[in-house]
């Protein structure tokens, strides 16, 4: 039989997602992005370009921000994933409040990915400069061109967290 018509192999993956151990079976070619949205029902992570260009699908994999459309679900096995659902578990965060206050949330589609990248930046650079923010966020595109507002929101969040010791 032509390999193209052979039954596609499946993989079973066990991974920690947002602090919970999850096991699922999916086609071997499934991306982390599609597994989160389809197999695990976590649709907060957005799918847009699906080729690593826009950052809409950003999640944390073992603590590092990655484009989940470029990672195979099988690569999650034994690893830890954090999505926007975890960040917002206790309600709107200070960063999300700042994004709203700055008017950065226009259509909102890019915002989950922006939040994940910004949280990753602030986790290892609590007081970033504007240049560091622009560099760290350069992989997250915004079709509504809220770039300056997003930078301002990250700066405001950084200042607030540093001043309150959060």
Cβ proximity to ligand FES: between 101 and 143 the closer is 143
Of 8, 10, 14, 49, the one binding ligand FES (CB under 6 A) is: 49
Q: Are strands 80-82 and 10-17 parallel, antiparallel or unpaired?
A: parallel
Q: What's the CA gap between 43 and 33, in Å, rounded?
A: 9
Of 129, 143, 159, 162, the one binding ligand FES (CB under 6 A) is: 143
Q: What's the CA gap between 79 and 76, in Å, rounded?
A: 5
Of 30, 44, 61, 67, the one binding ligand FES (CB under 6 A) is: 67
- Quote the least distance from Cβ 104 to ligand FES, whole Å: 7
Measured over the CA atoms of residue 136, residue 141, residue 142 and residue 147, the dihedral's sign is positive
Q: Does 38 participate in binding ligand FES (rule CB under 6 A)?
A: no
Q: What's the CA gap between 8 and 5, in Å, rounded?
A: 8
- Tokens describing residue 24: 């699922």
Q: Does 53 participate in binding ligand FES (rule CB under 6 A)?
A: yes
* Residues in touch with ligand FES (CB under 6 A): 47-50, 52-57, 67, 69, 105-111, 142-144, 146
């Amino acid at each position: 039989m032509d390999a193209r018509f052979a039954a596609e192999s499946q993989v079973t993956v066990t991974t920690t997602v947002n602090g919970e151990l999850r096991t699922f079976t999916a086609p071997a070619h499934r991306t982390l992005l599609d597994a989160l949205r389809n197999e695990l029902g976590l649709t907060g992570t957005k799918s847009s370009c699906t080729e690593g260009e826009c950052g809409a699908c950003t999640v944390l994999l073992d603590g590092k921000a990655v484009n989940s459309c470029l990672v195979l679900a099988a690569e999650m096995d034994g690893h830890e994933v954090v999505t926007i659902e975890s960040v917002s578990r206790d309600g709107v965060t200070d960063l999300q409040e700042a994004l709203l206050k700055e008017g950065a949330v226009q259509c909102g589609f890019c915002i989950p990915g922006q939040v994940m990248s910004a949280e990753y930046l602030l986790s290892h650079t609590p007081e970033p400069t504007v240049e560091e923010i622009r560099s760290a966020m350069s992989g997250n595109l915004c079709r509504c061109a809220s770039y300056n507002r997003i930078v301002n929101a990250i700066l405001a969040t950084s200042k607030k967290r540093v001043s309150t010791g959060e």
